[in-house]
Amino acid sequence: MKMPGNMQAMMKQAQQMQERLQQDIAAIRVEGSAGGGMVSVKMDGQKNVLAVKIDSEVAGDTEMLQDLVLAACNDAVKKVDGESQKKMGGMLGGMGLPPGLF
């Protein structure tokens, strides 16, 4: 099916924007923390954990350490989601789409 030239150009532009958005999101780096910084987790935009830092003070208390690692991971995920939304909102805002569509 042949699309009108204008539609083809719009589809190509949308594809390029999607590729750029995926690259921008992949480049996101955040750090989530818990326990006043006693545990920190670095995460990328695809929610892969890149590093975990644990203060020696909490290393002996297994239950507390588990809770802090979980909380730090959840904090990092929230930050990735927030950064991704900002990038998507900024890119989609330039397309003139109605608010709340994405």
Domain count, the chain: 1
Domain ranges, residue 42:
26-92
Please state whether 61 falls in left (phi above 0), alpha (psi between -120 and 50) or beta: beta
| Position 74 in a domain | yes
| Position 79 in a domain | yes
Q: What 8-state DSSP symbol labels residue 54?
A: E
C-alpha to C-alpha distance for 77 and 12, rounded to whole angstroms: 31
User: What digits encode the pLDDT tens for the residues 39-65?
Assistant: 999 999 999 999 999 999 998 899 999
Retrieve residue 76's tokens: 């990092």
C-alpha to C-alpha distance for 76 and 8, rounded to whole angstroms: 39
**pTM for the complete prediction?**
0.73
How distant is the alpha carbon of residue 102 from its chain centre? 16
Q: What pLDDT is stored for residue 41 in this prediction?
A: 97
CB atoms within 10 A of CB 25: 16
| Position 47 in a domain | yes
Mean pLDDT of the residues in the chain: 86
We report the CATH number of the domain holding residue 54 as 3.30.1310.10
